Amino acid sequence: MNRLIDRARLGALTLLLGAGVLPTCAAAQELGSMWGTESREREAYRLVKLPVPEGLVLEAGAFVTLPDGRIAVGTRRGDVYLSSGVDDEKPEPTFTLFATGLDEIFGLAERDGALYVTQSCEVTRVTDSDADGRADRFETISDAWGYANYHEYAFGSKFDAEGNLYVALGLSQSYYSQELFRGWALKVTPDGRTVPIASGLRSPAGIGPNEHGALFVIESQGPWNSSCSLKAIVPGGFMGHPASFNWYPYAPELGAAPASPRSGSSVLAERELIPELVPYAVIFPYIRMGRSITGFTVDTTEGRFGPFAGQMFLGDFSLSLLMRATTEQIDGVWQGACYPFREGLSTGILNVHFTPEGRLLAGGTNRGWPVRGTAPFALERLEWTGVTPFEILRIGITPNGFEVTFTKPLDPTLGRDPASYSIQTFTHEYHAGYGGPEIDQTTPSVESVTLSEDGKRATLKLSEVKVGHVHAFDLAALRSRDAETLVHRHAYYTVNRVPHPQPVEPSPRWLTFTGGAGPGAGKHIVLIAAEQEYRSEQSLPMLARLLAARHGFDTTVLFALNEDGLVDPTLKTRPEDPTVLHDIPGLEALESADLLVLFSRFMSLPPDQLRHFYTYLDSGKPLIGLRTANHGFIEFDYSKDGERVRFGEDVLGGAFRGHHGRWHQDSTRGILVDSERDHPILHGVEDIWGPSDVYRTFAVGGQLPEGCTALVLGQPLVGRSHGDAIESTLEPLPVAWTKTWTGNEGKAARVFQCTMGSARDFESAGLRRLVVNAAYWCLGLDELISTSSSVEIVGEYAPLASGFDYEALGVVPRAPAYYGGGAER
């Protein structure tokens, strides 16, 4: 919350809104509303007031859903009510007083039947020890901060996955830090320790995870903050307001206080001098996007609340409205965009929360500061009507512009017209004064627009992306295919970093995916899908999206194309047609590749294309071979020490000798090799199963060549279901192993071969994790392999079955772009 409110400014604002619109009656209705969009918003999002019993004052400041589905509401008056029935179609919720007499509740979490209440003075564990429905035990969990001014509010988070809870502490009188850790974020650990983690807060109004699980805080406009913003809390970070530096001696683990910022500079310039300074991730332009933004939550309703699943929602206290925000991490720095969402709430919004049925609760009060909504307090529920509003869904940054996605397809003519996209930028001074104007405006031109096939994604190339500026989008000129205008024409993206350019130029002949946040940032993986049987044209783009979006790698997928430039698994091979010559465009990408993932079969390539492979094999760079890669080439003419090298046997450690189990009838269960369970590639790998059969790669009675370390054995099953019985007459054979390869220049490369890998095999999360881990391992990133990293598929993945009966299987030549779709970030 902003403490300092200039009444004159509010008055001027109100009249300003009124002034231009009074002469006509149609426009007059805009008076009193912020964006003038309420009548459109309500078509998609209905606002339902939750009646509060007569006499009950419910100044909600925090919410949490209990395991039994009731919602606990913590209030500014220090009460906790347990509410049932907030999701009823015509709600008449009950409110049972659970605890009372606490001091300004701005945080509620639940664990093991106890409520954890963050109140101004402390974090308190509140329990009902005699089970009479009323709390009777109040245990102080943390009071490791000073508290000597009423404006020293404390905001508490929910628990994170490790059981930590976070507290954000406002400054004294919102200007000073007179008491211990005012202006700091603290971590309260499960064993009861309180650990200071970051300084530099001013007047926070909410703390919790962003949509990617990173810890974020709401900051209010004021000194050193020209607008409100969402900020990432980085351990050891400095969040921008230097008043709280005096407590570093009390946080010895964080070392000395950072250097003091120079007033009148910019955040990014100061960051060059003060490495602890964390750039503000999402700036909410003052007035246009709220005056004092408050508690936020993430839409985890998986679509029940409409098209914005996975995004952040937050309220504004002064203007009684709700907004959305999305974030992304570029080179380790968070940034993102905010979007108008819904106005016309009844009171000042202090916090928001999703109900079990996927509606958004919003509550608050309007005392103390100017507030547009006139109700002294209110609890309201926003619910999706099922109507999809035409909105900007999300803005993401690209190396030379932005990718803007929409909830509905754009009118193609307007959508492809750069003139439909108006972008202006501005920045703020970073200074000690209160608030600050928008300065250094620029108007970059939109040089080109590429509209996706589904019409929902526009990729904009700008004349310049201004680092350190907020990019204000005005897309009023766009129309949906149904000729609708956007419900909200504006959105605001804060640029702290511009992503590095993709190592390979985008082309219609291949696919490129830019790495998002993740340990793979800066590494380039080239994946080659060039076979006829196992639908690698589906599985490798899927892996490429996953490695980019979830792990940060830049990825490029190359394909075998036919004469029409289409990905063509139906192309003949030399055994069938001795005249055939294959074509994999883009192999130059191997020069910048840090890792090659190869899934080829019987490729006959021209010498100038093969040369790229030969060079790669000499480079010492690592290699992953999947399934048919061990018979991936036919005219492979690479020699070492004067001897021709067999690609499958010599490079990958074994080539296809036969189907161990019935081809296209039996399936494979992966068994982790016991002695290798601690191998980094096997971290977190469980339950590998795929409907393809086991490859035999060495003679019956033989074994893996020397230097190969088997990690996974494939046990044939009778039939092609996950639970089918073991084919007991067939022993398990290695299906995944590691080895090293040394080429002509004497450089050793890490090699991983997996002989599973049909597109349907990759529906197994275990197999995906195995290959993802192998990519880390191949690149020497063993230490960064995490059992909790995501191997969730990004976008749609509906793999076709393996085989050669292309017509029956629905396999037809398609443009590479066909396989790139569905990418989210």
Partner 1 sequence: MSIFLLVVTGLALPGFQQNPPVVPWLHQEHGLTEAQVGSLLVRELRCAACHTDLDVSRRPPLPGPDLNGVGARIAPNFLERYIADPAGTQPGTRMPALLDDLTPADRAEAARALTEYLISASRSTFDVDPPERVERAEQEQPESGARLYHSVGCVACHGPRDMTGAEPFVDSAPNDWIALDHVPHKYSPSSLAEFLFQPLHVRPAGRMPDMLLSRSEAHAISDYLLGPAQVEAAHWAARPELVARGRELFGALRCNACHALEGAPALDASPPLDASSQGRALDRTRGCLASEVSGAPRYGLASDQRAALRAALGGASDSPTEPDRDGGAAAVDEVAETLTAFNCIACHARGPNGGVAAAVDAYFQTTQPELGDEARIPPTLSLAGAKLQGDWVRKVLFDAARVRPYMLTRMPQFGETNLAHLPAALLVADADGLAPYPMVIPEEPAARTARVAGRELLGLTGLGCVSCHDFNGTPTPGFRGIDLITTPERLQPRWFVAFMIAPTRFRPGIVMPESWPGGVAVHQRLLDGDTDAQLRAIWYFLSQGRSAEDPAGIRPEPSQLHVEGSARVYRGRSAVAGFRGVAVGFPEGVHYAFDAGCGSLTAIWRGDFVSVRWDGQGAGDFRPLAKVIELPRDVAFARLDAASTPWPRRPVLEGTNPVNPDPRYPRQHGYTFRGYQLDAASIPTLLYACGATEIEDRTEVAERSGRQVLRRVLRLTSVAEDGPLYMRLLTGDFEARADRQFVTSELLVSLPPEGKVVNRPAMGEGPPELLLELALSPGTTTLVFDYEPLD
**Which positions from 191 through 250 interact with partner 1, judged by CB under 8 A?**
246-247, 250
Among 87, 103, 357, 618, binds partner 1 (CB under 8 A): 103
Binding segment for partner 1 (CB under 8 A), chosen from 175-183, 288-296, 679-687, 693-701, is 175-183
DSSP 767: H
Smallest distance from partner 1 to CB 93, Å: 11
Smallest distance from partner 1 to CB 152, Å: 8
Smallest distance from partner 1 to CB 545, Å: 41
Q: Does 171 bind partner 1 (CB under 8 A)?
A: no
Among 159, 369, 434, 698, binds partner 1 (CB under 8 A): 369
Q: Does 647 bind partner 1 (CB under 8 A)?
A: no
Name residues whose C-beta falls within 8 Å of residue 19's C-beta, 6 or more positions apart in sequence. none
Q: CB–CB of 104/61 below 8 Å? A: yes
Tell the residue number behind the tokens 């109507």, with chain if given.
Answer: 387
Smallest distance from partner 1 to CB 487, Å: 15
Smallest distance from partner 1 to CB 598, Å: 55
**Which positions from 581 through 600 interact with partner 1, judged by CB under 8 A?**
none
**190: helix, coil or strand?**
coil
Buried b (16+ CB within 10 A) or exposed e, 797-810: bebbbbbeeeeeee
Among 148, 476, 581, 671, binds partner 1 (CB under 8 A): 148
Q: Does 257 bind partner 1 (CB under 8 A)?
A: no
With residue 336 as reference, give the H or E element that holds it: strand 333-342
Q: Does 97 bind partner 1 (CB under 8 A)?
A: no
Cα–Cα distances in angstroms (integers) from residue 332 to residues 470, 649, 783, in the given order: 19, 41, 18
- Nearest Cα neighbor of 503 from 610, 397, 590 is 590
Number of residues that bind partner 1 (CB under 8 A): 85
Among 183, 223, 370, 716, binds partner 1 (CB under 8 A): 370
Angle subtended at Cα 665 by Cα 662 and Cα 671, rounded to the nearest 5 degrees = 75
Among 44, 47, 543, 688, binds partner 1 (CB under 8 A): 47
Among 40, 353, 372, 471, binds partner 1 (CB under 8 A): 372
Q: Where are the alpha helices (DSSP H) in 261-333?
A: 267-273
Among 24, 443, 579, 788, binds partner 1 (CB under 8 A): 24
d(CA 544, CA 557): 7
d(CA 499, CA 515): 9
**191: helix, coil or strand?**
coil
d(CA 400, CA 501): 8
d(CA 800, CA 325): 37
d(CA 767, CA 97): 51
Binding segment for partner 1 (CB under 8 A), chosen from 75-83, 161-169, 436-444, 477-485, is 75-83
46 or 500, CB closer to partner 1?
46
Smallest distance from partner 1 to CB 9, Å: 10
Smallest distance from partner 1 to CB 717, Å: 43
Smallest distance from partner 1 to CB 222, Å: 14
Among 185, 293, 371, 595, binds partner 1 (CB under 8 A): 371
- Nearest Cα neighbor of 750 from 738, 760, 762 is 738
In residues, how long is the chain? 825
65 or 178, CB closer to partner 1?
178
Radius of gyration of the chain (CA): 30
Smallest distance from partner 1 to CB 116, Å: 12
* Torsion angle defined by CA atoms of residues 114, 115, 118 and 121, in that order, rounded to the nearest 10 degrees: -60
Query: What φ, ψ does residue 46 adopt, rounded to 5°?
Result: -90, 135
24 or 579, CB closer to partner 1?
24
Q: Does 178 bind partner 1 (CB under 8 A)?
A: yes
336 or 340, CB closer to partner 1?
340
Smallest distance from partner 1 to CB 304, Å: 20
The one-letter code for the residue type at 96 is T
Residue 454: left (phi > 0), alpha (psi -120 to 50), or beta?
Answer: alpha
With residue 625 as reference, give the H or E element that holds it: strand 623-626
Smallest distance from partner 1 to CB 148, Å: 5
With residue 10 as reference, give the H or E element that holds it: helix 7-19
133 or 368, CB closer to partner 1?
368
Q: Does 788 bind partner 1 (CB under 8 A)?
A: no
d(CA 162, CA 7): 44
**Which positions from 750 through 779 interact with partner 1, judged by CB under 8 A?**
none
Q: Does 176 bind partner 1 (CB under 8 A)?
A: yes
Among 66, 87, 111, 121, binds partner 1 (CB under 8 A): 121
Q: Does 143 bind partner 1 (CB under 8 A)?
A: yes
Side-chain-side CA neighbours of residue 191 (13 Å): 1
Among 84, 111, 146, 287, binds partner 1 (CB under 8 A): 146
Binding segment for partner 1 (CB under 8 A), chosen from 120-128, 277-285, 504-512, 817-825, is 120-128
Binding segment for partner 1 (CB under 8 A), chosen from 8-16, 329-337, 738-746, 807-815, is 8-16
200 or 373, CB closer to partner 1?
373
Cα–Cα distances in angstroms (integers) from residue 551 to residues 194, 521, 577, in the given order: 31, 7, 41
Among 209, 306, 340, 344, binds partner 1 (CB under 8 A): 344
**124: helix, coil or strand?**
strand
Smallest distance from partner 1 to CB 26, Å: 6
